[in-house]
Amino acid sequence: MYEEPYRWVEAVGNRRTYLDEQFKQGSPVVAMVYEAGILLTTVSKGTSKLYEIYDRIALAGMGHPADLEKLRFNLLEMAHVEGFNRSPSDVTGSRLVKYGIAPVIKQAFEEVYKAPFIVRILLAELGQKPEKDALLTINYDGTFEETKKHAVLAATKTAQARMLEYLKAEMPAPCSLDQGLSLALRTWAIGSLAHRQESAEETEESGHTAGDQKAAAAPDQPALLAHLREVLADKTLECAVLDRQQPGSSKYRAIKPAELARLLPGDFQSVVTG
């Protein structure tokens, strides 16, 4: 009888190890505010990872497509029921996370005889005013965090930390959409390269101090562009915005390749258009 709590703790620890392994081949996600709203960027292969949830709320995710789709449907249903029964202004990212999706993910993670959700989720909410914009990230165990200016999803804490450090250091104020797109792409490449480096290090029997010190420095722009060009040879760049200036109640808009080519600097255009 006394062993049961310890078995549960051990089982939860094993689930964390299993889930962390599942994200190693995943694509990072970058979300950041810009002067007219919120920008979301990722790279996908076949299955979209950016979605509209409600008029001013967008979803991005990484993980198993079936799990992401199931949770997306839950969010859509909750948002529209809330908007119908109460009012559209009552549909907020915070409510969707705290009373909707986070408890569901937490319960699935802790019920060790059932499969957990293999997902990490980011919800972006466009406020009525810029200072009310919110970015919420939810981990596979149901824990969540709210930030204001930028947020990322990545396979590991190290990759996430590198991406956030780069974003904070490079983000201009104010930030236009074209500046934001360029920065989001570079930040995505920072996270993707960190994934690759960590995977390579795990295959080695022992690390080297000199290599670790070199990895701490952010790659320069040509290296980031080269990595983006390599990845986008067989994958698709996804970008979307919640645009405060867009007419109508829905503020979500996917950025099409033609608009990307117009907004990005010359070096980045060659990466996106091939």
Q: pLDDT per residue over 47-98, tens digit each?
A: 899 999 999 999 999 999 999 999 999 999 999 999 999 888 889 999 999 9
Q: What is the pLDDT of residue 146?
A: 96
Give the predicted TM-score (pTM) of the model. Answer: 0.90
User: 20 with 156: CB under 8 angstroms?
Assistant: yes
Cβ–Cβ < 8 Å for 157, 23:
no
Give me 26's structure tokens. Answer: 């995943």
Query: What CA–CA distance (Å, rounded) separates 181 from 184?
Result: 5
The residues facing 43 across adjacent strands are: 237
DSSP class of residue 233? T
User: CA-based angle 124:128:133, to the nearest 5?
Assistant: 30
Q: CA geometry: angle at 144 spanning 138 and 146, to 5°?
A: 105
The domain spans of the chain are 4-273
Render pLDDT for 118-143 as a digit per residue (tens, 0 to 9): 999 999 999 999 999 999 999 999 99
Domain 4-273 of CATH type 3.60.20.10: yes
Output the tens digit of pLDDT for each of the chain's 274 residues: 445 666 888 888 899 999 999 998 889 999 999 999 999 999 998 889 999 999 999 999 999 999 999 999 999 999 999 999 988 888 999 999 999 999 999 999 999 888 999 999 999 999 999 999 999 999 999 999 999 999 999 999 999 999 999 999 999 989 999 999 999 999 999 999 998 888 777 776 555 544 444 445 778 888 999 999 999 989 999 999 999 999 999 999 999 988 888 888 776 766 665 5
